Structure 1
Amino acid sequence: MNKKSIFFCLILAAGGLLAQAQNNSLGKNDPAAKKVLDGLSAKLKSFKAVQSGFTLTVADANDKIQGSKSGTIYIKGNKYHINVVGGQDIFCDGKDVWTYDKSSNEVTITKSDPSTQTITPDKIFTDFYDKDFLYKLNGESKMGAHIVQEVELTPTDKSKPFFKALLYIDKTAHTLVSIKWFDKGGTKYTLQTNKLNGNATFTDAQIAYNKAKFPGAEEVDLRN
Protein backbone atom coordinates (compact mmCIF):
# COMPACT_ATOMS: atom_id res chain seq x y z
CA MET A 1 0.00 0.00 0.00
CA ASN A 2 1.43 3.40 -0.91
CA LYS A 3 1.21 6.50 1.21
CA LYS A 4 -1.98 7.78 -0.39
CA SER A 5 -3.81 4.45 -0.17
CA ILE A 6 -2.88 3.97 3.49
CA PHE A 7 -4.25 7.38 4.40
CA PHE A 8 -7.33 6.98 2.21
CA CYS A 9 -8.18 3.57 3.67
CA LEU A 10 -7.73 4.82 7.20
CA ILE A 11 -10.00 7.78 6.62
CA LEU A 12 -12.73 5.73 4.99
CA ALA A 13 -12.58 3.04 7.61
CA ALA A 14 -12.79 5.65 10.33
CA GLY A 15 -15.76 7.20 8.60
CA GLY A 16 -17.94 4.25 9.49
CA LEU A 17 -16.37 4.19 12.92
CA LEU A 18 -18.34 6.88 14.66
CA ALA A 19 -21.19 7.56 12.30
CA GLN A 20 -24.18 8.00 14.55
CA ALA A 21 -26.90 8.06 11.95
CA GLN A 22 -30.09 9.99 12.46
CA ASN A 23 -33.55 8.50 11.81
CA ASN A 24 -34.57 9.19 8.24
CA SER A 25 -37.29 8.44 5.75
CA LEU A 26 -35.22 5.89 3.82
CA GLY A 27 -35.38 3.20 6.47
CA LYS A 28 -35.73 2.37 10.14
CA ASN A 29 -32.88 2.44 12.62
CA ASP A 30 -32.51 -0.04 15.46
CA PRO A 31 -33.14 1.52 18.91
CA ALA A 32 -30.81 -1.05 20.51
CA ALA A 33 -28.00 0.03 18.17
CA LYS A 34 -28.69 3.67 18.95
CA LYS A 35 -28.25 2.93 22.65
CA VAL A 36 -24.84 1.39 21.97
CA LEU A 37 -23.80 4.31 19.78
CA ASP A 38 -25.02 6.80 22.38
CA GLY A 39 -22.80 5.08 24.94
CA LEU A 40 -19.83 5.33 22.60
CA SER A 41 -20.62 8.98 21.90
CA ALA A 42 -20.79 9.83 25.61
CA LYS A 43 -17.44 8.13 26.20
CA LEU A 44 -15.82 10.00 23.33
CA LYS A 45 -17.06 13.32 24.63
CA SER A 46 -15.04 12.73 27.80
CA PHE A 47 -11.77 12.48 25.87
CA LYS A 48 -9.50 15.54 26.01
CA ALA A 49 -6.65 14.35 23.81
CA VAL A 50 -6.24 10.90 22.29
CA GLN A 51 -3.29 8.63 21.73
CA SER A 52 -3.99 5.20 20.30
CA GLY A 53 -2.17 2.44 18.52
CA PHE A 54 -3.80 1.03 15.40
CA THR A 55 -3.40 -1.74 12.88
CA LEU A 56 -4.95 -1.45 9.43
CA THR A 57 -5.27 -4.70 7.47
CA VAL A 58 -6.44 -5.03 3.87
CA ALA A 59 -7.88 -8.30 2.54
CA ASP A 60 -9.41 -9.32 -0.79
CA ALA A 61 -12.85 -10.84 -1.36
CA ASN A 62 -11.46 -14.27 -0.42
CA ASP A 63 -10.07 -12.93 2.88
CA LYS A 64 -6.49 -13.19 1.62
CA ILE A 65 -4.39 -10.53 3.35
CA GLN A 66 -3.05 -8.00 0.86
CA GLY A 67 -1.19 -5.78 3.29
CA SER A 68 -1.01 -4.51 6.83
CA LYS A 69 0.22 -1.32 8.45
CA SER A 70 0.42 -0.31 12.08
CA GLY A 71 1.20 2.87 13.92
CA THR A 72 0.06 5.46 16.42
CA ILE A 73 -2.40 8.30 16.07
CA TYR A 74 -2.47 11.44 18.19
CA ILE A 75 -5.55 13.67 18.09
CA LYS A 76 -6.32 16.95 19.84
CA GLY A 77 -9.30 18.91 18.60
CA ASN A 78 -9.01 19.20 14.83
CA LYS A 79 -5.26 18.62 14.90
CA TYR A 80 -3.67 15.22 14.49
CA HIS A 81 -0.49 13.30 13.79
CA ILE A 82 -0.52 9.77 12.34
CA ASN A 83 2.77 7.88 12.57
CA VAL A 84 2.84 4.75 10.41
CA VAL A 85 5.55 2.19 11.14
CA GLY A 86 7.85 1.96 8.14
CA GLY A 87 8.38 5.61 7.41
CA GLN A 88 5.20 7.65 6.96
CA ASP A 89 3.97 10.60 8.99
CA ILE A 90 0.80 12.60 8.44
CA PHE A 91 0.19 15.91 10.19
CA CYS A 92 -2.83 18.21 10.15
CA ASP A 93 -3.23 21.56 11.89
CA GLY A 94 -6.91 21.84 11.00
CA LYS A 95 -6.17 23.79 7.82
CA ASP A 96 -3.38 21.99 5.98
CA VAL A 97 -2.12 18.39 5.78
CA TRP A 98 1.54 17.35 5.50
CA THR A 99 2.20 13.77 4.34
CA TYR A 100 5.81 12.62 4.67
CA ASP A 101 7.10 9.52 2.88
CA LYS A 102 10.47 8.28 4.13
CA SER A 103 11.20 6.14 1.05
CA SER A 104 11.22 9.20 -1.21
CA ASN A 105 12.09 11.74 1.50
CA GLU A 106 9.21 13.84 0.24
CA VAL A 107 6.52 15.89 1.96
CA THR A 108 3.25 16.53 0.14
CA ILE A 109 1.22 19.48 1.41
CA THR A 110 -2.51 19.72 0.76
CA LYS A 111 -5.41 21.70 2.13
CA SER A 112 -7.75 20.19 4.70
CA ASP A 113 -11.24 21.10 3.52
CA PRO A 114 -13.95 20.04 6.01
CA SER A 115 -16.66 21.29 3.64
CA THR A 116 -15.75 18.63 1.08
CA GLN A 117 -14.40 15.95 3.42
CA THR A 118 -17.23 14.54 5.49
CA ILE A 119 -14.75 12.02 6.92
CA THR A 120 -11.46 13.16 8.42
CA PRO A 121 -9.03 11.54 10.89
CA ASP A 122 -9.82 14.04 13.65
CA LYS A 123 -13.31 12.51 13.73
CA ILE A 124 -11.98 9.05 14.53
CA PHE A 125 -12.20 9.62 18.28
CA THR A 126 -14.64 12.50 18.43
CA ASP A 127 -18.39 12.82 18.52
CA PHE A 128 -19.33 12.41 14.83
CA TYR A 129 -22.93 12.65 13.65
CA ASP A 130 -23.89 11.65 10.13
CA LYS A 131 -27.32 11.53 8.56
CA ASP A 132 -26.28 9.25 5.74
CA PHE A 133 -26.23 5.89 7.54
CA LEU A 134 -28.70 3.33 8.79
CA TYR A 135 -27.66 1.16 11.72
CA LYS A 136 -28.63 -2.04 13.48
CA LEU A 137 -27.29 -4.15 16.35
CA ASN A 138 -26.12 -7.60 15.21
CA GLY A 139 -25.43 -9.03 18.65
CA GLU A 140 -22.52 -9.69 21.01
CA SER A 141 -19.32 -11.71 20.73
CA LYS A 142 -15.92 -12.05 22.35
CA MET A 143 -12.96 -10.35 20.72
CA GLY A 144 -9.75 -10.99 22.62
CA ALA A 145 -10.35 -9.84 26.18
CA HIS A 146 -13.38 -7.77 25.14
CA ILE A 147 -17.07 -8.52 25.06
CA VAL A 148 -18.12 -6.47 22.05
CA GLN A 149 -21.39 -5.34 20.55
CA GLU A 150 -21.47 -5.36 16.76
CA VAL A 151 -23.22 -2.44 15.09
CA GLU A 152 -23.75 -2.60 11.33
CA LEU A 153 -23.82 0.63 9.32
CA THR A 154 -25.06 0.93 5.76
CA PRO A 155 -24.97 4.15 3.71
CA THR A 156 -28.25 5.48 2.39
CA ASP A 157 -26.35 6.93 -0.57
CA LYS A 158 -25.75 3.90 -2.77
CA SER A 159 -23.21 5.76 -4.88
CA LYS A 160 -20.66 5.58 -2.07
CA PRO A 161 -17.70 3.25 -2.75
CA PHE A 162 -18.46 1.12 0.31
CA PHE A 163 -21.65 -0.74 1.18
CA LYS A 164 -21.19 -1.76 4.82
CA ALA A 165 -19.20 -1.09 7.96
CA LEU A 166 -19.17 -3.16 11.15
CA LEU A 167 -18.30 -1.48 14.46
CA TYR A 168 -17.16 -3.58 17.42
CA ILE A 169 -17.73 -1.63 20.63
CA ASP A 170 -16.65 -2.80 24.09
CA LYS A 171 -19.87 -3.45 25.99
CA THR A 172 -18.53 -2.30 29.35
CA ALA A 173 -15.98 0.38 28.47
CA HIS A 174 -18.02 1.84 25.57
CA THR A 175 -14.86 2.20 23.48
CA LEU A 176 -14.13 1.13 19.94
CA VAL A 177 -12.20 -2.13 19.60
CA SER A 178 -12.33 -2.66 15.83
CA ILE A 179 -14.10 -1.72 12.63
CA LYS A 180 -14.46 -3.60 9.37
CA TRP A 181 -15.24 -1.70 6.18
CA PHE A 182 -16.32 -3.37 2.94
CA ASP A 183 -16.00 -1.73 -0.47
CA LYS A 184 -17.97 -2.65 -3.56
CA GLY A 185 -14.93 -4.16 -5.25
CA GLY A 186 -14.73 -6.86 -2.59
CA THR A 187 -11.83 -5.38 -0.62
CA LYS A 188 -12.16 -5.54 3.15
CA TYR A 189 -10.43 -3.18 5.55
CA THR A 190 -10.02 -3.88 9.26
CA LEU A 191 -8.94 -1.14 11.64
CA GLN A 192 -8.08 -2.27 15.16
CA THR A 193 -7.24 0.06 18.03
CA ASN A 194 -5.08 -0.70 21.04
CA LYS A 195 -3.62 1.05 24.05
CA LEU A 196 -6.21 3.80 23.76
CA ASN A 197 -5.59 6.77 26.07
CA GLY A 198 -8.31 9.40 26.04
CA ASN A 199 -6.42 11.70 28.39
CA ALA A 200 -3.05 11.76 26.68
CA THR A 201 -0.65 14.59 27.49
CA PHE A 202 1.02 16.21 24.52
CA THR A 203 1.21 19.76 23.23
CA ASP A 204 0.05 21.15 19.90
CA ALA A 205 3.71 21.62 18.97
CA GLN A 206 4.45 17.95 19.57
CA ILE A 207 1.91 16.84 16.95
CA ALA A 208 2.60 19.66 14.47
CA TYR A 209 4.67 19.33 11.30
CA ASN A 210 8.21 20.55 11.92
CA LYS A 211 10.37 20.91 8.83
CA ALA A 212 13.52 20.57 10.92
CA LYS A 213 12.63 16.97 11.77
CA PHE A 214 12.79 15.99 8.08
CA PRO A 215 16.13 17.36 6.85
CA GLY A 216 16.54 17.45 3.09
CA ALA A 217 12.95 16.41 2.39
CA GLU A 218 11.53 17.78 -0.84
CA GLU A 219 8.26 19.66 -0.32
CA VAL A 220 5.52 19.33 -2.93
CA ASP A 221 2.95 22.03 -2.22
CA LEU A 222 -0.45 21.24 -3.78
CA ARG A 223 -2.42 23.87 -1.88
CA ASN A 224 -2.67 26.29 -4.79
Structure 2
Amino acid sequence: MKKIFLLVLLMGVALCQAVAQQDAKAESILSKMADNYRKAGGISLTFGGTQHGKLLLKGNKFCLESGGIKTWFDGKTQWSYVEQNEEVNVSSPTPEEIQSVNPYALLTAYKKGFNYRYVGEKTRQGKRGHEIILTPKTSQDIKSITLNVKENSSPVYIAIQLQNGEKQEFQISSYRTGVNLPDAVFRFDKSKYPGAEIIDLR
Protein backbone atom coordinates (compact mmCIF):
# COMPACT_ATOMS: atom_id res chain seq x y z
CA MET A 1 0.00 0.00 0.00
CA LYS A 2 2.80 2.40 0.84
CA LYS A 3 4.01 2.11 -2.74
CA ILE A 4 0.63 2.72 -4.39
CA PHE A 5 0.62 5.43 -7.05
CA LEU A 6 3.89 7.18 -6.66
CA LEU A 7 3.53 8.97 -9.48
CA VAL A 8 1.41 9.09 -10.40
CA LEU A 9 1.94 8.51 -12.95
CA LEU A 10 3.31 7.80 -13.89
CA MET A 11 14.18 6.04 -17.34
CA GLY A 12 21.74 2.41 -23.07
CA VAL A 13 24.13 4.33 -24.37
CA ALA A 14 23.12 6.71 -27.20
CA LEU A 15 24.28 9.82 -28.99
CA CYS A 16 24.20 12.90 -26.79
CA GLN A 17 21.95 14.65 -29.27
CA ALA A 18 19.40 11.82 -29.22
CA VAL A 19 19.40 11.74 -25.43
CA ALA A 20 18.86 15.48 -25.29
CA GLN A 21 15.93 15.23 -27.70
CA GLN A 22 14.34 12.44 -25.70
CA ASP A 23 14.70 14.38 -22.45
CA ALA A 24 13.24 17.52 -24.02
CA LYS A 25 10.24 15.58 -25.32
CA ALA A 26 9.70 13.91 -21.96
CA GLU A 27 9.98 17.20 -20.12
CA SER A 28 7.51 18.84 -22.47
CA ILE A 29 4.94 16.09 -21.86
CA LEU A 30 5.47 16.07 -18.09
CA SER A 31 5.29 19.87 -17.88
CA LYS A 32 2.05 19.93 -19.86
CA MET A 33 0.60 17.18 -17.68
CA ALA A 34 1.57 19.06 -14.50
CA ASP A 35 0.10 22.32 -15.85
CA ASN A 36 -3.16 20.64 -16.85
CA TYR A 37 -3.38 19.01 -13.43
CA ARG A 38 -3.02 22.37 -11.69
CA LYS A 39 -5.88 23.76 -13.80
CA ALA A 40 -8.13 20.69 -13.58
CA GLY A 41 -9.84 21.45 -10.26
CA GLY A 42 -11.23 18.28 -8.72
CA ILE A 43 -10.19 15.02 -10.36
CA SER A 44 -11.83 11.61 -10.02
CA LEU A 45 -10.23 8.50 -11.46
CA THR A 46 -10.65 4.75 -11.14
CA PHE A 47 -7.95 2.21 -11.83
CA GLY A 48 -7.32 -1.51 -12.19
CA GLY A 49 -4.24 -3.64 -12.67
CA THR A 50 -2.21 -4.89 -9.72
CA GLN A 51 -4.81 -3.29 -7.47
CA HIS A 52 -8.20 -1.77 -8.08
CA GLY A 53 -9.50 1.41 -6.58
CA LYS A 54 -10.58 5.01 -6.79
CA LEU A 55 -8.62 8.23 -6.33
CA LEU A 56 -10.00 11.73 -5.75
CA LEU A 57 -7.63 14.69 -6.10
CA LYS A 58 -7.72 18.45 -5.63
CA GLY A 59 -4.47 20.40 -5.42
CA ASN A 60 -2.31 18.70 -2.80
CA LYS A 61 -5.30 16.91 -1.24
CA PHE A 62 -6.36 13.37 -2.04
CA CYS A 63 -8.62 10.51 -1.02
CA LEU A 64 -7.56 7.01 -2.09
CA GLU A 65 -9.57 3.80 -1.69
CA SER A 66 -7.92 0.50 -2.61
CA GLY A 67 -7.27 -2.96 -1.20
CA GLY A 68 -9.42 -2.56 1.91
CA ILE A 69 -7.65 0.66 2.92
CA LYS A 70 -8.99 4.18 2.61
CA THR A 71 -6.63 7.13 2.94
CA TRP A 72 -7.49 10.81 3.29
CA PHE A 73 -5.02 13.70 3.13
CA ASP A 74 -6.13 17.31 3.59
CA GLY A 75 -2.77 18.88 2.79
CA LYS A 76 -1.45 18.51 6.32
CA THR A 77 -2.91 15.47 8.11
CA GLN A 78 -3.28 11.94 6.77
CA TRP A 79 -5.80 9.34 7.98
CA SER A 80 -5.51 5.71 6.87
CA TYR A 81 -8.43 3.45 7.70
CA VAL A 82 -7.79 -0.30 7.56
CA GLU A 83 -11.16 -1.96 7.10
CA GLN A 84 -10.02 -5.40 8.24
CA ASN A 85 -9.14 -4.36 11.80
CA GLU A 86 -11.12 -1.11 12.00
CA GLU A 87 -8.10 1.03 12.79
CA VAL A 88 -7.35 4.59 11.70
CA ASN A 89 -3.74 5.71 11.73
CA VAL A 90 -3.35 9.49 11.93
CA SER A 91 -0.06 11.04 10.83
CA SER A 92 1.62 14.16 9.47
CA PRO A 93 3.52 12.67 6.51
CA THR A 94 6.68 14.08 4.97
CA PRO A 95 6.67 15.10 1.28
CA GLU A 96 8.56 11.86 0.52
CA GLU A 97 5.92 9.78 2.29
CA ILE A 98 3.16 11.59 0.41
CA GLN A 99 4.89 10.70 -2.88
CA SER A 100 4.72 7.03 -1.98
CA VAL A 101 0.94 7.19 -1.63
CA ASN A 102 -0.20 9.88 -4.04
CA PRO A 103 1.00 9.41 -7.62
CA TYR A 104 0.29 12.95 -8.57
CA ALA A 105 2.84 14.23 -6.07
CA LEU A 106 5.25 13.11 -8.79
CA LEU A 107 3.99 15.91 -11.02
CA THR A 108 5.54 18.51 -8.74
CA ALA A 109 8.65 16.50 -7.85
CA TYR A 110 9.79 14.92 -11.11
CA LYS A 111 12.25 17.70 -12.04
CA LYS A 112 14.11 17.51 -8.76
CA GLY A 113 13.92 13.82 -7.94
CA PHE A 114 13.94 11.96 -11.26
CA ASN A 115 15.72 11.50 -14.56
CA TYR A 116 13.28 10.97 -17.42
CA ARG A 117 13.31 9.96 -21.05
CA TYR A 118 10.75 9.64 -23.82
CA VAL A 119 10.52 6.15 -25.34
CA GLY A 120 7.87 6.73 -28.02
CA GLU A 121 4.19 6.12 -28.61
CA LYS A 122 2.72 2.90 -27.28
CA THR A 123 -0.76 1.41 -27.03
CA ARG A 124 -2.06 0.42 -23.61
CA GLN A 125 -5.59 -0.97 -23.12
CA GLY A 126 -6.36 -0.03 -26.71
CA LYS A 127 -5.42 3.61 -26.05
CA ARG A 128 -2.39 5.18 -27.73
CA GLY A 129 -0.22 7.46 -25.66
CA HIS A 130 3.24 8.87 -25.13
CA GLU A 131 5.41 6.69 -22.90
CA ILE A 132 8.01 8.08 -20.51
CA ILE A 133 10.33 6.23 -18.16
CA LEU A 134 11.46 7.94 -14.97
CA THR A 135 14.30 6.78 -12.72
CA PRO A 136 15.09 8.26 -9.31
CA LYS A 137 18.29 10.30 -9.03
CA THR A 138 19.07 8.81 -5.63
CA SER A 139 18.83 5.21 -4.45
CA GLN A 140 15.41 4.23 -3.11
CA ASP A 141 12.91 1.36 -3.16
CA ILE A 142 11.66 2.42 -6.58
CA LYS A 143 13.81 1.38 -9.56
CA SER A 144 11.74 3.02 -12.29
CA ILE A 145 8.32 4.39 -13.19
CA THR A 146 6.71 3.96 -16.60
CA LEU A 147 4.08 6.54 -17.46
CA ASN A 148 1.81 6.46 -20.52
CA VAL A 149 -0.10 9.67 -21.25
CA LYS A 150 -2.67 10.54 -23.92
CA GLU A 151 -2.43 13.67 -26.09
CA ASN A 152 -4.83 15.47 -23.74
CA SER A 153 -2.41 14.79 -20.83
CA SER A 154 -4.69 12.27 -19.12
CA PRO A 155 -2.88 9.17 -17.82
CA VAL A 156 -3.50 5.75 -19.38
CA TYR A 157 -1.03 3.52 -17.55
CA ILE A 158 1.45 3.73 -14.67
CA ALA A 159 3.91 0.97 -13.74
CA ILE A 160 6.23 1.05 -10.75
CA GLN A 161 9.24 -1.29 -10.81
CA LEU A 162 10.75 -1.86 -7.37
CA GLN A 163 14.34 -2.74 -6.58
CA ASN A 164 13.23 -6.10 -5.15
CA GLY A 165 11.83 -7.12 -8.55
CA GLU A 166 8.19 -6.47 -7.68
CA LYS A 167 6.15 -4.60 -10.27
CA GLN A 168 2.93 -2.71 -9.68
CA GLU A 169 0.76 -1.77 -12.64
CA PHE A 170 -2.13 0.68 -12.69
CA GLN A 171 -4.46 0.95 -15.67
CA ILE A 172 -6.59 4.10 -15.59
CA SER A 173 -10.13 3.07 -16.52
CA SER A 174 -11.86 6.43 -16.02
CA TYR A 175 -10.56 9.99 -15.61
CA ARG A 176 -12.75 13.05 -14.97
CA THR A 177 -11.70 16.64 -14.31
CA GLY A 178 -13.62 19.64 -12.97
CA VAL A 179 -15.33 17.50 -10.33
CA ASN A 180 -16.84 19.38 -7.38
CA LEU A 181 -14.95 18.07 -4.34
CA PRO A 182 -15.49 19.94 -1.06
CA ASP A 183 -12.59 19.92 1.41
CA ALA A 184 -14.51 17.59 3.74
CA VAL A 185 -13.99 14.80 1.17
CA PHE A 186 -10.29 14.79 2.11
CA ARG A 187 -10.76 14.42 5.88
CA PHE A 188 -11.66 11.38 7.95
CA ASP A 189 -15.24 11.60 9.27
CA LYS A 190 -15.43 9.68 12.54
CA SER A 191 -19.23 9.64 12.48
CA LYS A 192 -19.10 7.34 9.44
CA TYR A 193 -16.79 4.88 11.22
CA PRO A 194 -18.08 4.82 14.81
CA GLY A 195 -16.35 1.54 15.69
CA ALA A 196 -12.91 2.54 14.44
CA GLU A 197 -9.96 2.72 16.83
CA ILE A 198 -7.99 5.91 16.23
CA ILE A 199 -4.20 5.62 16.58
CA ASP A 200 -2.49 9.03 16.56
CA LEU A 201 1.07 8.71 15.27
CA ARG A 202 1.83 12.44 15.13
Same fold per superposition (TM over 0.5): yes
Shift of 1:70: 1.2
How far apart in 1 are the matches of 2:164 and 2:64?
27
**Contact 1:169–1:176, Cα closer than 8 Å, also in 2:** yes
Q: Does structure 1 residue 213 correspond to structure 2 residue 195?
A: no
Q: Hey, what's the Cα distance between the residues in 2 that align with 1:10 and 1:102?
A: 17
Match of 1:96 in 2: 77
Q: 1:151 aligns with which of 115, 118, 132?
A: 132
* TM-score, reference length from structure 1: 0.76
Deviation at 1:42, TM superposition (A): 3.0
Secondary structure at 2:63 match in 1: strand
RMSD (CA atoms) = 2.5
How far apart are residue 35 of structure 1 and its match? 2.4
Listed as ranges, the gaps of 5+ residues in structure 2 are 11-18
Instruction: Render the CA deviation track for 1:73-103: whole Å, top value 9, x for unaligned.
Output: 111222221122x532111122211111111
Identity of aligned residues (%): 26
Aligned pair 1:53/2:46, yes or no? Answer: yes
Q: Secondary structure of 1:54's match?
A: strand
Q: Distance in 2 between matches of 1:34 and 1:175?
A: 16
Select the residue among 187, 191, 203 that pairs with 2:166.
187
Change (3 A) 1:122 1:144: closer
1:39 lines up with 2:32 in the alignment = yes
The TM-score normalised by the length of structure 2 is: 0.83
For 1:121 and 1:96, how far apart are their aligned partners in 2?
13
Query: Does the Cα contact within 8 Å between 2:60 and 2:105 map onto a contact in 1?
Result: no
Measured in 2, the distance between the counterparts of 1:123 and 1:188 equals 15
Match of 1:133? Answer: 114
Structure 2: distance between partners of 1:124 and 1:167: 12
Q: Which one of the candidate residues 50, 53, 72 is aligned to 2:54?
A: 72
Q: Distance in 2 between matches of 1:118 and 1:70?
A: 19
Distance 1:146 1:156 in 2: 30
Q: Secondary structure at the match of 1:128?
A: helix
